Structures are given as structure tokens and as C-alpha cells.
Amino acid sequence: MDTVVIDVARVPLTDLLSIARGASVGLADGARERIASGRRVVDGVLASGRAVYGLTTGVGHLRDVRVPDGELIGQQYMIVMTHSGGFGPLLPTEVVRAAMAVRLVGLTRGGSGASPAVAESLVGLLNAGVHPLLPRTSSVGAGDLGAMALVAQVAIGAGRAEYLGELLSGGEALARAGIAPLVLQAKDGLAMVSANGVSVGQGALVAERAGVLADAAELVAALSMEATRGNPSVALPVVAEGKPFPGLAESCRQLREALSGSYLLGSGVPASVQDPLSYRVVPQVHGAFRDTTAFVAQTVETELNSQADNPLVSPSDGTLVSNGNFHPVLLAVAFDALRVAIAHVGQLSDRRLGHLWAAFFEAMSGGSPSFEGPPPDLPGMHLRYAAAAAYAELRQLAAPVSLDVGVLDQGVEDHSTAAPLSVRKADEALDLLADILTIELLLAADILDLRPELPTLGAGTAVLYGSARGAIAALSDRSTDAVHAAVRATLSASGVRSRRR
């Protein structure tokens, strides 16, 4: 995997994702100079003796308490050691790496005033594969202080880390990796913890996943149309031209591509001149999902490249400015909106499952139910109720979370965003959507298999159908959960292939 070199230019999400998945990282000379120039501002402020939050004063409700000169560096260690509360399951390694990379990119934007050694320490940890252990629950979304403090602890030789598959103390992990502990200077501790690393880093991973699942959702909807003799007119170019949202246009395009060559395109094949809305408005609903995902990705990338430190270096006048750029409220609201869009796609899938259910029994019995013989080996039928249960859960996840944090720290911190929770719930919503779409795929394929002869499927749907049937054929365990897991994996792969075309 190539090295990602961070310079002063805007860092795209693709670079962040590469680092999250194991790419090494380097700093260009321009990035190093920008970090150094910010540090010069901090050194000048220190020399002036001015009161500056977190530098020469305490933090939080101690913001107006002056720190003696002899304790300035000690306060930075105190910030790192006292802001690390968290509990719950550990975050995946790729989220941890993404969080570290987010802070590294933030340092190169020039607003932190951290010592150059802080950035070099993060580069060393990432390239050596020393990964701090970060519990899932710690941040209210006003800077991911708890998680980033745990990263800082490992950098200074404390805390806990994973290295080469082994869980170690931070000091031992550094020693085995040959990395010297970071020695903090004034403001360095605050600079290390003051970042929305988890929110932005995991947000990038979730945004990418949402795009992949949007592509897979088009293929599943198209296969359901083929299973029920749906009307493909819903995706004609004139539809996209009539309402020119980018997501709607892309949804129409992908539906047409999925159905290219399908028997549905023959004259008189569709069962009705107009299908139920769960088929007819696929481009509109899936398009909204796509456009919301695009907005989410744009928001995450803007946060990644922002100067979000408090206090913020102001090079023009050589001061440090108290501000609220650490507050990722737009990111939190964007992921709240994404979960609503995800739920709508899931609702359409659940509604189509109702129509597929009726078509399934019609195809299986010809309208005359039989109570004799063994049950058919058709997994989609057995999972329909499970899909309804999953949709009920998905619907609950659509509720906003960005308004739900109370007042903290003696009334000083009286607004938060719940950004990491908003991102995590969006990831959970994508899981449920994938579950529901998998069941729709299974039931649609079952209906097609019940026909006397498999009709000619579209270019995209034929691949999807073949992948699903191949995955099931390879199983020795034909339980519904094993079938579901195998087909769900092919669904995700289908989405990835679609995006690479």
C-alpha cells in the first residue's frame, strides 16, 4: 500500500480511508512548516505573558484560573491523563487509525499551535501500527476528548495499545516499536485531545459504506421488479430530466443499467401500467439517500480539513483566539438526516417485500395452497418476518440524537452535538438496511426460481442473482442465518463492483 503524504492542500476522504486501512503516512515540507509557524505564534504568546485558555489558564470551569509558569507543562500532562474517561466495546482498528489521522491532518491546517513533535509522534504511531485502545462511549461531540486523550496517553508512554496483535501498556508498545515517548510542551496536551477524531474518522468510513449500499439497493430493487413484472418506465431519462437532483438521476441511470437486456424491456411485459409506490418512487427515495450521503461526505471532508482547535492560532495578529470550531454540529445533523434517508430506503424495501410475499405464494401454488409434502427450500419466505422486525428497529434509529446531551461542567459546557453517537447509529442503520435488502434479494430470487423457466435478467441483476445463488450453493449449513450472512456478503460486493464500473 502506498504512503499517503499530507501537504497543505486539501486532504480528500480517500486519503483518510487509506490511512485507516493501513497505509503509511508522511508529512510534506509545507505541512511541517505550517505546523512550525503555528507553534511560533504560541511561543510568542507565552513570552508575552497574556492569559490564554488552556495555555496559561485552566480548562473548562477553571478557564479563568491562572496557571503558574512552573506548572504550564505539567498542566498539559494533567489534561491528557484526566480527560480519558470511556467505557464499552473497543473501537475497530480502522476507526482508531482514522481518528489518529484526523488529528494529524488537523495539525497541518495550521490552527493548533502544537509542537512539531506532536505530529511526528502521530506519524510514528500510525506507521509502526501502534494502535491505542479506545472504548466506544466517551464523547458528547464537542471535541472527542476522551478518545483523543487515550491516543495522547499512548504517545507519551501511558495508556493501553495494541501492537502486532497483542494488548500492551502504552509504554511497552512504544518500546517494542522503537518509538520514543512524546515529551509535551505548553499547549501540546490540549492540542492532542481537542479534535473530533472519532466522529470525523468513523464518519468517513460510514459515508463510504452508505455510497456502496446505495448502489446495491438499486440492484435489489431492479431484481424485485423482474420478479413481479414491474414497470421499468420509472427509470427513463425523462424522469431524471423532469426533477434534476443528482441522486435521482444517478438512481435512474443505475436502474437502467441493472435492467439492460432484461425481459422487462419487451413490449407488453410489465404486469401493470403503473406499479405501487414502493416500486414507482425508487429513483426519488434512493436518490434522496444518495444526495444526503453526498452531503454527509462533503461535511466530513470539510471537518477533516478545518482549523478546529480552541484556542485557535491567528497568524495575522499573532494571537490565540477563543472559539467554538471544535463543535461539529453540522456533521451531527448531517448524520441524523442520513439515518432518516436510510430508513426511507428500508421502508421501500419492506413494502416491496409485502408485494413479493403475495407474488411468491401465487407463484408457488398457482392460487391453490397445498398442505402436503416437505416445505420448499426457499429461504426468502422464512425470513420475511425477520425483515419486518429489522425495519421496526431501523425506524427507531431514524430519531435524531444531536439534541439529547445535557448541560455539563458546572454549566459552562451547555451545548453538545452527540456527533459520535449520530455517526455510530448511522452505521447501525446501514447494517439493518443491508439485512432487509438481503431478504428482499432472497425472496425475489425465490420467485424467479418458481417460474417454469428463468426469464432473461438484466446485465446487473443477472450478476446479482448468480452471486446469491452461488453463495447459497457453496454452503454446507443451510440455516436461515447462514444463508442470510452469505448472501449479505455478496450484496455488499455487488455494490462495490457497481461503484467501480
Whether residue 482 is predicted with pLDDT greater than 80 in this model: the reply is yes
- pLDDT for res 270: 84
Kindly write down the DSSP assignment for every residue of 198-217, as one continuous string: HHHHHHHHHHHHHHHHHHHH
186 with 221, same domain: the answer is no
Q: Kindly state the DSSP code that residue 440 receives in the 8-state scheme.
A: H
Greatest distance between any 2 Cα atoms in the chain = 91
Query: In the listed set 139, 170, 195, which residue is the last one of a domain according to the structure?
Result: 195
Say yes or no: 258 and 174 in one domain.
no
- Which residues are CB-contacts of 302 (< 8 A; sequence separation ≥ 6)? none
Helix (H, G, I), strand (E, B) or coil at 413: strand
In this prediction, residue 478 has a pLDDT band, given cuts at 50, 70 and 90, of confident
Q: Is the pLDDT of residue 20 over 70?
A: yes
Same domain? For 296 and 317 the reply is yes
186 and 297 within one domain: no
Residue 160 shares a structural domain with residue 296: no
pLDDT digits (tens, 9 = 90+) for 30-53: 999 999 999 999 988 888 878 778
At 370, the pLDDT band (50, 70, 90 cuts) reads low
**pLDDT per position as a tens digit, 302-344:** 999 999 998 899 877 888 888 888 889 999 999 999 999 999 9
- Measured distance CA(19)–CA(445) in Å, rounded: 39
Q: In terms of domains, do 373 and 407 share one?
A: yes
**Per-residue pLDDT for 260 more than 60?**
yes
The overall average pLDDT reported for the chain is 91
**Which candidate, 427, 435, 362, places its Cα nearest to that of 198?**
427
- Same domain (yes/no): 222, 346: yes
- Tell me which of 415 and 206 has the higher pLDDT: 206
For the residues 444-455, what does the mean pLDDT come to? 92
Q: Specify the higher pLDDT residue, 368 or 188.
A: 188
Res. 367 pLDDT band, cuts 50 70 90: low
- pLDDT reported for residue 376: 59
In 3-state terms, what secondary structure has residue 163? strand
* Structural domain boundaries, residue 320: 203-500
3-state helix, strand, coil in the chain (%, to 5): 60, 5, 30
Find the length of the chain: 501
Q: Would you list the DSSP string of 81-135? A: HHS---EEEEPPHHHHHHHHHHHHHHHHTT-S---HHHHHHHHHHHHHTEEE--E
The CATH number covering residue 160 comes to: 1.10.275.10
Residues 129, 165: Cα–Cα separation, whole Å: 10
Instruction: Verify that 35 and 124 share a domain, yes or no.
Output: yes
User: What's the confidence (pLDDT) of residue 46?
Assistant: 84
Structural domains in the chain (count): 2
* 307 plus 401 within the same structural domain: yes
Q: How far is CA 304 from the centre of its chain?
A: 14
pLDDT tier, 498 (very low <50, low <70, confident <90, very high otherwise): low
Of 195, 211, 229, the one marking the end of a domain is 195
**Do 188 and 238 reside in the same domain of the chain?**
no
CATH code of the domain containing 247: 1.20.200.10
Q: Are residues 157 and 282 in the same domain?
A: no
C-alpha cell at 363: 407463484
pLDDT higher than 90, residue 496: no
- In terms of pLDDT, which residue wins out, 66 or 268? 268
Is the pLDDT at 371 greater than 50? The verdict is no
Q: What is the mean pLDDT of residues 210-231?
A: 96
Q: Which of 195, 212, 229 is the last residue of a domain?
A: 195
For strands 25-27 and 166-169, give the pairing: unpaired
* 171, 217: one domain: no
